Chains A and B, each alone.
Chain A
């Protein structure tokens, strides 16, 4: 049976992989017209694949019967608090980017779809990265 510690370590990296996947996926959509369509499709598929595969894997962590206790430990109250803090950080990041885009729209003509992409991507990626960091991504393994 995998220990809760090992599962937590795997989850941190899966969440980071999901963030990077989402960034690549949305980045490929934002680069339409800049890069060749086939290349963008390939990049987008890699990004989306990484995002969804990482998300599914992180949800399935410790799903086996023996892993039930480890899963409870994995979702203890510190993890729940970290999740809330990460969501709040993502929300604030979206607000800040929205304000910047709002101000920039006074100076430049901006595409609403592109603006929505940037806002959404910022919120999702910031929340995921923040959660991985709060869960000790940069801390040495004990």
Chain B
């Protein structure tokens, strides 16, 4: 099964925002940003759109499905 991955940390680093600053801009806590970055928490569509807006990216750039392993397919 494919897994949801994200490039939030990478895009946040590009915009030089801390987790707390990104959280404040997107109106969520620093813990929420940390949990999303580490793949522990999958955000709602609304939050994904807000994060993308703050980081100047598209949702598809931030979040993507990792293709399943070859071994898994076989």
A and B part of one assembly: yes
Residues on B lying within 8 angstroms of A by beta carbon are 20, 23-24, 27-32, 35, 41, 43-44, 47
A36 interface residue (CB < 8 Å to B): no
A57-99 Cβ-contact flags toward B at 8 Å (1 or 0) = 0000000000001001110111101000000000000000000
**Does the CB pair A77–B32 fall under 8 Å?**
yes
Q: How large is the interface on A (under 10, 10 to 19, 20 to 34, 35 or more residues)?
A: 10 to 19
Q: How far is the CA of A142 from the CA of B20 in the complex (A)?
A: 10
Write out the residue numbers on chain B whose beta carbons fall within 8 Å of the beta carbon of A77.
Answer: 28, 32, 43-44, 47
Q: How far is the CA of A108 from the CA of B62 in the complex (A)?
A: 59
**Does the CB pair B35–A72 fall under 8 Å?**
no
Contacts A5-B20, A81-B41; A76 near B27 (Cβ below 8 A): yes
Contact residues of B: prevailing secondary structure: helix
Contacts A78-B35, A81-B41; A73 near B20 (Cβ below 8 A): no
Write out the residue numbers on chain A whose beta carbons fall within 8 Å of the beta carbon of B32.
Answer: 76-79
Which residue of A74, A77, A136 has the most chain B CB atoms within 10 A of its CB atom? Answer: A77
Write out the residue numbers on chain B whose beta carbons fall within 8 Å of the beta carbon of A8.
Answer: 29, 31
Given A78-B28, A78-B32, A79-B29, list of 20 further CB < 8 A pairs? A4-B23, A5-B20, A5-B29, A5-B30, A69-B27, A73-B23, A73-B28, A73-B29, A76-B27, A76-B29, A76-B32, A77-B28, A77-B32, A78-B29, A78-B31, A78-B41, A79-B32, A81-B41, A135-B31, A142-B30
Q: How far is the CA of A72 from the CA of B44 in the complex (A)?
A: 16
**Does the CB pair A4–B41 fall under 8 Å?**
no
A31-52 Cβ-contact flags toward B at 8 Å (1 or 0) = 0000000000000000000000
Write out the residue numbers on chain B whose beta carbons fall within 8 Å of the beta carbon of A5.
Answer: 20, 29-30
Nearest 10 Cβ contacts at the A-B interface: A78-B32, A76-B28, A73-B29, A76-B32, A78-B41, A76-B29, A77-B44, A4-B29, A72-B27, A78-B35
Give the Cβ gap from A1 to chain B, nearest Cβ, in Å: 12
Q: How far is the CA of A74 from the CA of B23 in the complex (A)?
A: 11
